[in-house]
Structure 1
Amino acid sequence: MLLLLALGITLCVVAWGYLVYAAIDFGSEARHDNDSQAWAYLGVAAVGAVACLFLGFMLVARFSRAMGLTQAPAPKPKRDPAAPKGGKRAAR
């Protein structure tokens, strides 16, 4: 499991780097030639880079949980049914 998570993180980082490089290239081409197709490719590459970075961060979180570096949050205590619902404002 750890090996698959590490491989996924690596692939996401490599894909992110490639997409950032492609977005920079498309952006310079779009500004130089004022090409609308290059602007569209720039947008697609930028959205793809954001998605890869987000997925990479999610995999890092799962990796750290699997390694035992982090743990799940403590469960919220059940609400007392006798207590009034709402906060101070609702109790007025």
Structure 2
Amino acid sequence: MLLLLAIGITLCVVAWGYLVYAAIDFGSTARHENDSEAWGYLAVAAVGAVACLFLGFMLVARFSRALGFTKAPDPKPKKDPGAPKGGKRAAR
């Protein structure tokens, strides 16, 4: 499992770097040549880069949990079934 997470993180970081580089290149082309097609590619590359970075961060969080650096949050205590509904205001 750790190997798969490490490979996934690596692929996400590499894809993110490539998409950022592509977005910079498309932005330069769109700006200097006023190419509307390049603006579309810029938008797609930017959204893809954001998605790759988000996925990479999620995989890093799972990786750190698998290694034991972090732990799951404690479960919330169950409410008392005999407690009045609606809080203090409703109990008056």
Partner of 1:35: 35
**Gap change, CA 1:91 and 1:5, over 3 Å in 2:** same
Identical pairs, percent: 87
Structure 2 residue runs of 5 or longer lacking an equivalent are: none
Could you list the runs of 5+ residues in structure 1 that have no partner in the other structure?
A: none
CA RMSD, Structure 1 to Structure 2 (Å) = 1.3
* Number of residues of Structure 1 aligned to a counterpart in Structure 2: 92
Q: Which amino acid aligns with 2:9?
A: I
TM-score (norm 2): 0.93
Question: Matches of residues 3-22 of structure 1 in structure 2 within 5 Å?
Answer: 3-22=3-22
Q: How does 1:41-56 map to 2 (within 5 A)?
A: 41-56=41-56
* TM-score, with length taken from structure 1: 0.93
| Residue correspondence of structure 1 range 62-73 to structure 2 within 5 A | 62-73=62-73
CA distance in 2, matches of 1:30, 1:88: 61
Paired residue type of 1:67: L
Query: 1:25, 1:58 → 2: CA distance?
Result: 27
Deviation of 1:20 (Å): 0.3
Whichever residue aligns with residue 84 of structure 2, its letter is P
Question: Which letter maps to 2:21?
Answer: Y
